[in-house]
């Protein structure tokens, strides 16, 4: 494949990143996503939209989030200087709110007052319910019943915020099934409803729009590290499920040839066991949820359920831009198992007093794996994409403890 002169030029006008992405949706939805694309382009060109977005990110979300030098983790790993991008300190406790603020402002512009969303871990659902409370919008969250059971505190938070949480029983009752159900709702309620997708997946323009709203992570990190160390990082590490926090951190650095970019998939119980969520490392290209990308699927093209201890990575696909970046070789896609993530969760909690989300713990786990072999002056930024309070029940269960 020919190397492009920029890795940030995508997608093309039809939403393709190389052979990935696109608009694989039913005809009923086609006019809606075309309208959304136009509305988003107009919003991008409107200084007032940008100003409203920045205002909310500063005063409501609490940005910029700190870039924190993790001295004790760095010493423990015995190599690179590890910085943590503290998205866990955002309002609602994860990076998801960056995108929700942006899309809610867009929905308002479009005159849509009913918001629907899918959620896995519940972080995106909570962030969506939060902005709906703020902007006085009706909110319906689709969530797989399996996830409702393992993320009970977040379900209660969403309800407190005024959202209706609709359990999804189809399929394995997890994130992909919640997405199917949200799309069915959207088809049936085209006139007043805005689908607020939480990750860099779905049909065009969602992958690039969600990316744009999350890029604030990497843009801030770049400035913050320049200030702290006087130079760019040597490597960046983020976890990846659908790919929004990874894209947010990594995209602004794609055209910096000396910066090593790493995204960590969930290997679950081990890729060799088949019980994992590593769609790039162990999947094949296919079409699901409106785009072509790497998917976990069987020989007949039926989607296989993903498995991960972290509900937020438990998705059998990945954003199409990641699929392209994998093929052109710009980002390294690696993986960490449930056990490695839990060990990193513990280490970060005990050494830094920071309880990371299980999702983010996958990034920490891979950092732990390689940091020791890197030079003492190697600068590494790990995206701490969310906080782990929501995961205490899962960790306790993993340890055989009843709370």
Partner 1 sequence: MSAGPRTRIDARFEALRGEGRAGLVTFLTAGDPDLETAAAILRGLPAAGADIIELGMPFSDPMADGPAIQAAGQRALKAGTTLRKTLDMVRAFRRTDDATPIVLMGYFNPIHAYGPAAFLRDAKAAGVDGLIVVDLPPEEERDLPAQEAGINLIFLTAPTTTDVRLGRVLARASGFLYYVSITGITGTASAETADVAAAVQRIRARTSLPVAVGFGIRTPDQAAAIARVADAAVVGSALVGIIAANLGPSGQPGPGTTDAVLDAVRALASGVRSARAGKLRSSA
User: Does residue 110 touch partner 1 according to CB under 8 A?
Assistant: no
Alpha carbon distance 315, 271 (integer Å): 14
User: Does residue 241 touch partner 1 according to CB under 8 A?
Assistant: no
Q: How far is the CB of 311 from partner 1 (least distance, A)?
A: 18
Q: How far is the CB of 190 from partner 1 (least distance, A)?
A: 5
Q: Which of 260, 289, 322, 387: binder of partner 1 (CB under 8 A)?
A: 289
- The residue range among 30-38, 252-260, 342-350, 363-371 that interacts with partner 1, by the rule CB under 8 A, is 30-38
Residue 187 or 328: the one with the smaller Cβ distance to partner 1 is 187
Q: Which of 10, 11, 20, 32: binder of partner 1 (CB under 8 A)?
A: 32
Give, in order, the Cα–Cα distances in Å from 104 to each of 25, 33, 291, 292, 301: 22, 16, 23, 26, 35
Residue 62 or 285: the one with the smaller Cβ distance to partner 1 is 285
User: Does residue 26 touch partner 1 according to CB under 8 A?
Assistant: yes
User: Does residue 111 touch partner 1 according to CB under 8 A?
Assistant: no
Site string for partner 1, 181-210 (x = CB under 8 A): --xx--xxxxx-------------------
Q: Which of 110, 134, 287, 343: binder of partner 1 (CB under 8 A)?
A: 287
User: Does residue 38 touch partner 1 according to CB under 8 A?
Assistant: no
- The residue range among 36-44, 116-124, 279-287, 358-366 that interacts with partner 1, by the rule CB under 8 A, is 279-287
Q: Which of 44, 170, 350, 373: binder of partner 1 (CB under 8 A)?
A: 170
Q: Which of 92, 128, 180, 199: binder of partner 1 (CB under 8 A)?
A: 180
Give me the phi and psi of 301, to 5 degrees please: 80, 15
Which residues belong to the active site?
96, 118, 385
Q: How far is the CB of 382 from partner 1 (least distance, A)?
A: 33
Number of chain residues interacting with partner 1 (CB under 8 A): 39
Q: Which of 27, 136, 227, 272: binder of partner 1 (CB under 8 A)?
A: 27
- The residue range among 26-34, 136-144, 243-251, 382-390 that interacts with partner 1, by the rule CB under 8 A, is 26-34
Q: How far is the CB of 170 from partner 1 (least distance, A)?
A: 6
Residue 178 or 368: the one with the smaller Cβ distance to partner 1 is 178
Interhelix angle for 206-214 vs 320-327, to 10°?
Answer: 80
User: Does residue 112 touch partner 1 according to CB under 8 A?
Assistant: no
Residue 284 or 397: the one with the smaller Cβ distance to partner 1 is 284
User: Does residue 63 touch partner 1 according to CB under 8 A?
Assistant: no
Pairing mode, if any, of strands 284-288 and 290-295? antiparallel
- The residue range among 210-218, 225-233, 297-305, 354-362 that interacts with partner 1, by the rule CB under 8 A, is 297-305
State whether the Cα torsion 6-9-10-13 is positive or negative: negative
State whether the Cα torsion 222-331-14-35 is positive or negative: negative
User: Does residue 85 touch partner 1 according to CB under 8 A?
Assistant: no
Q: How far is the CB of 36 from partner 1 (least distance, A)?
A: 13
User: Does residue 297 touch partner 1 according to CB under 8 A?
Assistant: yes
Instruction: Note whether 388 and 344 are within 8 A (CB).
Output: no
Alpha carbon distance 77, 237 (integer Å): 15
User: Does residue 282 touch partner 1 according to CB under 8 A?
Assistant: no
Binding residues vs partner 1 (CB under 8 A): 14, 22-32, 170-171, 176-177, 180, 183-184, 187-191, 284-290, 292, 295, 297, 299-303
């Amino acid at each position: 494949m020919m190397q492009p002169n920029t890795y940030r030029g995508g997608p093309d006008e039809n939403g393709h990143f190389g052979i990935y992405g696109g608009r694989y949706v039913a005809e009923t939805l086609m006019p809606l996503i075309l309208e959304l694309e136009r509305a988003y382009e107009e919003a991008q060109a409107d200084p007032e939209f940008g100003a409203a977005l920045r205002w909310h990110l500063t005063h409501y979300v609490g940005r910029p989030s700190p870039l924190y030098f993790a001295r004790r983790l760095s010493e423990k790993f015995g190599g690179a200087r590890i910085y943590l991008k503290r998205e866990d300190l955002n309002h609602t406790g994860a990076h998801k709110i960056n995108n929700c603020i942006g899309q809610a402002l867009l929905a308002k512009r479009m005159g849509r007052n009913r918001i629907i969303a899918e959620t896995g871990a519940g972080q995106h659902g909570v962030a969506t319910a939060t902005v709906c409370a703020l902007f006085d919008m009706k909110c319906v969250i689709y969530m797989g019943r399996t996830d409702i059971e393992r993320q009970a505190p977040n379900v209660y938070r969403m309800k407190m915020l005024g959202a209706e949480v609709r359990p999804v029983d189809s399929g394995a009752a997890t994130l992909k099934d919640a997405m199917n159900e949200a799309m069915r709702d959207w088809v049936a309620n085209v006139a007043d409803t805005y689908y607020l997708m939480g990750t860099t997946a779905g049909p065009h323009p969602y992958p690039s729009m969600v990316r744009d709203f999350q890029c604030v992570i990497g843009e801030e990190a770049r400035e913050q590290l320049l200030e702290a160390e006087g130079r760019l990082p040597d490597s960046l590490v983020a976890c990846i499920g659908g790919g929004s926090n990874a894209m947010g951190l990594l995209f602004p650095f794609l055209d910096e040839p000396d910066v090593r970019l790493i995204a960590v998939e969930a290997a679950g119980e081990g890729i060799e066991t088949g019980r994992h969520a590593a769609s790039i490392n162990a999947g094949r290209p296919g079409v699901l949820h409106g785009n072509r990308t790497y998917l976990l699927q069987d020989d007949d093209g039926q989607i296989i359920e993903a498995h991960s201890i972290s509900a937020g990575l438990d998705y059998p696909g990945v954003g199409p831009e990641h699929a392209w970046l994998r093929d052109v070789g710009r980002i390294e896609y690696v993986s960490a198992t449930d056990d490695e993530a839990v060990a990193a969760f513990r280490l970060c909690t005990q050494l830094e007093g920071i309880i990371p989300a299980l999702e983010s713990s996958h990034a920490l786990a891979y950092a732990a794996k390689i940091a020791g072999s890197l030079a003492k002056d190697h600068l590494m930024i790990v995206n701490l994409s969310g906080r782990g309070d929501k995961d205490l029940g899962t960790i306790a269960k993993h340890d055989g403890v009843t709370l």
